Structure 1
Amino acid sequence: MEKWPVLGRHPRAAEWLQIWTDLGRAPRTIDAYARGLGEYLLVCEREGIDPLTANRSQVALFVRELTTRPSSRGPNVVVLDSGSGLANATLQQRLVSVRLFYDFLIEEGVRESNPVGRGRYTPRGGFGAGGRGLVPRMVKLPWIPNDQQWRDVLDVFRGEPVRNRVMLALAYDAALRREELCALRTDDIDPGHRMLRIRAETTKTRRGRAVPYSAATGALLAEYLVHRATFSSARGPLFLSESRRNPGQPLTLWTWSKVVRRVALAADVPQFATHTLRHLCLTDLARMGWELHAIATFAGHRSTDSTMAYIHLSGRDLAAKLNAGMAQIHSWRVETLADGGESR
C-alpha cells in the first residue's frame, strides 16, 4: 500500500489485497498483485473510469497502455517478445491482478461479469469458465545455453570465490530456484548421502522435496564449509554475505542475481540468468531419458504441464519419432527400388 497509495483511494481494492495478505500469500505475490491493480487504477483515474463498473472496452485502454509502454529498463532489456517495452509474461502478470479483483467483486455481488475475459463467471463453471484473454499468451520454450556458451560461463565462474562456485553447482545439480538456493540452511545438507532437503516454505509450490547433488559439488561444498567456518560458526543460513557492510548476514536473492548477471556479462552470454541453471538441468534430465513424472518430482512441479516444456526443449520424443518414422520410410524406399529392379 505504501508503494501504491492509489489503492488507499479505492476501498474495495484495499479490501481485496488485505484478504490475500490475511490468507498468507507470499510477500512477492502481494507486491505483484498490488502493482498490477495499482497501475490499472491509475489508468482508471486518468481516464475518468469507475473501476467498479468498467466494461471490456475500458479495460482495453489499460491493455493498450501496457502494450505501448516503453520498458523502464531501457537498453538493459535482454529479450523483447511483446512488440513493445514489456514482455508478454509481464503483460499477463499485470492482467492477472485485475482479473482476480473482478472475480472478487462478482463474488461480493458488486458485479455480474468479469470484463477481463478469462476468469468469467458462469453458474455452472464458476470462475474461469471459458472466455479468451485480452492479450494472446505466448508460450515460449525456456532458453538454455549451448555447449560453448556454457563453457564460457564456467570459465568466468572458475575465478569466483568458492561460495559463488558452489552456489552455481548446487543450482544446476538440484535444479534449484533462486529462492530455494538462497534459503538453504546448514541443517538442510546430508553430506553422507549427498542430499539436499528443500523445505516446503521456500518453494514456489509449497511442496518440500529431497534432491541429490554430485560428488564434484560435494567436494566444493566441503571446501566452502571450511571457508565459512573462518568467519561464522553459527548454524542457520548456509550462504552468508562476506561484504564489509553485511558480514555474516544471510545472502539475499538480489546479491546472487547480481553475481550471476556480472558473470553473464563477463562471459558475453547476457541471456544467462539465475533460472537458466534450473532450465538447463531439467532439459539435461529429459535428454538422458528420464520419465516425465520423475522430472516433475525432481523439479517440484505441481503439474506435469510445466515439465513438458523441458521434454519439448530436449527434442527427445520428437527425435525418437522421427528416427522411427525415417527408418520405416527408408525401408519402404529401398524395397520399392529392389522390386523395380526385379521387374525389369
Structure 2
Amino acid sequence: MFELRKKWPILGRHQQAADWLQVWQDLGRAPRTIDAYARGLAEYLELCERESVDPARATRAHIALYVRELGSRPSHRGVNVVALDSGAGLSSATLQQRLVSVRLFYDFLVEEGLRQDNPVGRGRYIAGPRGGGRQRGLVRRLEKLPWIPSDEQWRAVLTVAAAEPVRTRLMLALVYDAALRREELCSLRTDDLDPGRRLVRVRAETTKSRRERVVPYSATTGVLLSQYLMHRGMVSRARGGLFLSESRRNFAEPLSLWTWSKVVRRIAVAAAVERFSTHTTRHLCLTDLARMGWEVHAIATFAGHRHTDSTMRYIHLSGRDLAERFTRGMEHIHAQRVALLSAGAEDSGRPR
C-alpha cells in the first residue's frame, strides 16, 4: 500500500480509497490489477478535488464530467500511439477500465453504508413494454477486431527475428505455438516443459482465468528449446525461471515483462511492422487454428478461455478468408441448383 501512495499521493488524502484498495490486496488480487485500480481511482479523486466535492457525496453529474474529461484527454504516448479508436487519445477499452475502478469503489461505499446508491451506470438487462433490452452504460462499448499481420508482415518480423539470440527466437516460437500471453511466457519455469512429448504446462497462477492448461509446441520449437537450454546452462544451472536475463544489472534473474516488451518492440520497428506487439502472436495463432477448421470450443480450451465469447473476439478471419469460404459455399449451392435444373430439364423431356 505504501508503494501505491508513493506513486499516487492523492490516495493518502482519501482514507476510504486506501481502505478499498487494501481490501483488494488482502484478497490476493494481482499486483497489476491493483495498480490499474489505483490509477483509475486516483485520476477520479483528482477531479473531485478540483471540483471541491467529497467523493462519497458525488453525483452522476460528477461522473459524467469525469467521462467527458477522459474522452477529451490526449494520449500520454503522443506520437507513439499506433491507432486510436476514441477519436481523442484514450481508447474505448481504456475508458471502460478507468470507469470500472470508480464503479467498484462506489460498490464498496454502498456496502459500507456510506452511500445509498452507485452513481456509476452499468449496462444491464431491463424489462420493457416491448420485451427485454440492455441499458447502455456511461460509455458506449466498442469491440474491434484484433489486428493480425499479413503473411508479408509476418515474414518481415521473422526475418528480423532470425538474427536475434536463441532466447528471443525460442520465445517468439513458443508464444506463437502455444498462444501464450506475455505473463504466461515470462513466468514459465524449467519444470513446466515436457520435451519428450513436446508439451508445456501453463500454471494456473500465471493465467488470466486462473485455469491451468497443457498445450503442445512444434518440433521446430523443440529444436530451439534444446539449443537454448544448452545456452541457459552457461548463464545458470539452477532450476527456476526458464528465460533468464543476461544484463549486468539483473544477470541470471527471470526475464521481466517489460524487457520482453522492449525486445518485441525493437523487432517490430526494425521490421517496419510497428503494430506488432507481444499479444499479436496469440491473436495470430488462434486465428490460424480457426483457418485450419478447429471448432471454437477446442480453440477456447487451447487458449484458456472460460467462455467461447472471449475466443470469438480473438479470432480474426480476414476478408480474404471469408471470401474464400463464401465462394466455396456458393459453389456447392450453385452445383446443387444446377443439378436440380438439369434434372428438371430431363424430366420435362419425358413423355407424359
TM-score (norm 2): 0.89
Q: Does 1:186 align with 2:178?
A: no
Aligned to 1:105: 109
Determine what percentage of the aligned residue pairs are the same residue: 68
Q: Distance in 1 between matches of 2:84 and 2:32?
A: 23
1:242 aligns with 2:246: yes
Which string of whole-angstrom CA distances, capped at 9 and with x for unpartnered residues, describes residues 226-272 of structure 1? 11111211111010111122221111000000000000000000000
Q: Deviations over 1:75-113 (max 9, x none)?
A: 111111110111111111101001111111222222222
Closer/same/farther in 2, CA of residues 302 and 101 from structure 1, 3 Å limit: same
In the alignment, which residue of structure 2 is the partner of 1:293? 297
State the partner residue of 1:328: 333
Moved more, 272-281 or 224-233: 224-233
Specify the SS of the correspondent of 1:230.
helix
CA contact (8 A) 1:284 1:314 kept: no
Closer, same or farther: CA 84–190 of 1 in aligned 2, 3 Å: same
Offset, 1:213? 0.4
Residues 5 and 121 of structure 1, relative CA distance in 2, 3 Å threshold: farther
- 2:257 is aligned to 253
What corresponds to 2:225 in structure 1?
Answer: 221
Query: Is the Cα contact below 8 Å between 2:47 and 2:66 reproduced in 1?
Result: yes
Structure 2: which 5+ runs fail to align? 127-132
The answer on whether the counterparts of 1:180 and 1:202 sit within 8 Å (CA) in structure 2 is yes
Q: Deviations over 1:309-341 (max 9, x none)?
A: 24453677886566435643675489779989x
* 2:23 aligned residue: 19
Secondary structure (helix, strand or coil) at the match of 2:317 reads helix
Judged with a 3 Å threshold, the aligned counterparts in structure 2 of structure 1 residues 121 and 148 are, in CA distance, closer, same or farther, namely closer
What does residue 278 of structure 1 align with? 282
Cα root mean square deviation, aligned: 2.6
* Structure-to-structure mapping, 1:157-172, within 5 angstroms: 157-172=161-176
Give the corresponding residue for 1:95.
99
- For the 8 Å contact 1:17–1:30, the answer to whether it is kept is yes
Aligned counterpart in structure 1 of residue 273 of structure 2, from 269, 272, 280: 269
CA contact (8 A) 2:261 2:278 kept: yes
Q: Paired residue for 1:114?
A: 118
Query: CA separation in 2, counterparts of 1:87 and 1:21?
Result: 27
Amino acid paired to 1:238: L
**Residue 318 and residue 294 in structure 1: after superposition, are their counterparts in 2 closer, same or farther (change >3 A)?**
farther
Q: In 1, Cα distance between the equivalents of 2:125 and 2:118?
A: 7
Listed as ranges, the gaps of 5+ residues in structure 1 are: 123-128
Mean CA deviation greater in 191-200 or 311-320:
311-320
User: In the alignment, which residue of structure 2 is the partner of 1:125?
Assistant: none
Pick one of 36, 39, 45 that aligns with 2:40.
36
- Quote the offset at 1:49 in angstroms: 2.0
Q: Is the 8 A contact 1:200 1:207 kept in 2?
A: yes
* Inter-CA distance 326–107: structure 2 relative to 1 (3 Å threshold): farther
Between the aligned partners of 1:195 and 1:337, the Cα distance in structure 2 is 54
> Matched residues in 1 for 2:167 and 2:94: separation?
32
Task: Write the distance in 2 (CA, Å) between the matches of 1:41 and 1:119.
Answer: 23
Q: CA deviation at 1:30?
A: 0.2
1:45 correspondence with 2:55 = no
1:75 paired with 2:79, answer: yes
What TM-score results when the alignment is normalised by the length of structure 1?
0.91
Question: Distance between the aligned counterparts of 1:76 and 1:329, measured in 2?
Answer: 50
For residues 119 and 337 of structure 1, do their structure 2 counterparts lie closer, same or farther at Cα, with a shift above 3 Å needed?
A: closer
In 1, the alpha carbon distance for the partners of 2:31 and 2:125 equals 28
